[in-house]
Amino acid sequence: MSQDANTGRMYAGQPVEDRQRQRRARFLESGLTVFARDGYANSSVGAICKDAGLSSRQFYEEFTGRESLLLELYEQIDKESRDSVTTALDGRTDASALELIDTAVRAYVESIGSDPRKARVALVEVVGAGPKVEKFRLELRRTWGSLLASAAEDAALHGEIPPGDYEMRVLAIIGAVNYVVDAWSGADPRPPLDDVIGVLSRVIMGAVKA
């Protein structure tokens, strides 16, 4: 049934559309848990439904399958991390290139790395999950490349770093950055966050100054 058809309807004293949103959120949360715990390749709709406490019929009312759930999760996690970085950089017009990199890295790591499940799903499980997921992953990677290249170009205008093809440079190190973030997120105990940020900032700075 369409969302419009459900508008205004009540079920157990609650609007039907609210119950649907809550149900979808439960599936997303359980997908995050199951994909991170079992690995996407080894996961099943049954395991996701069991974790969510919902039926497979309800699952297929929301998603076409595991892939569509993974794609929505990935998009959600990526958007949250990009929004965090964009917000952190907003208004930092007087900051140095290194300060901007530190700020961006901290926002990114805290957003995507604080929950090991998010880091595992968005940085590891999406790789090789299928042609559709891989196409989307590369699109998002290019979006990140453009965002970081723009920050580098701003620094170049102030003479802090030499001009160059920053988008290619940052694309070359995104994989390395994500590997470190995933390793840090899943470590027990975790190394100090400031140490991780320091390492990543130096790597990125070295790449854009090369």
210 residues of the chain, pLDDT tens digit each:
444 445 556 655 566 688 889 999 999 999 999 999 999 999 999 999 999 999 999 999 999 999 999 999 999 999 999 999 999 988 777 777 778 888 888 999 999 988 999 999 999 999 999 999 999 999 998 888 887 777 666 666 666 666 666 677 777 788 888 899 999 999 999 999 999 998 888 888 777 676
- What span, in angstroms and rounded, lies between the C-alpha atoms of 194 and 188? 16
Residues with Cβ within 8 Å of 153's Cβ and at least 6 positions away in sequence, in order, are: 166
**Cβ 31 vs Cβ 120: under 8 Å:** no
Q: How many CB atoms lie within 10 A of CB 117?
A: 20
Q: With residue 60 as reference, give the H or E element that holds it.
A: helix 56-62
- The residue with tokens 């840090």 is 184
The residue among 136, 95, 96, 118 whose CA lies nearest residue 185 is 118
Model's pTM, two decimal places?
A: 0.84
Name the token pair of 175.
């994989």
CB 118 within 8 A of CB 112: yes
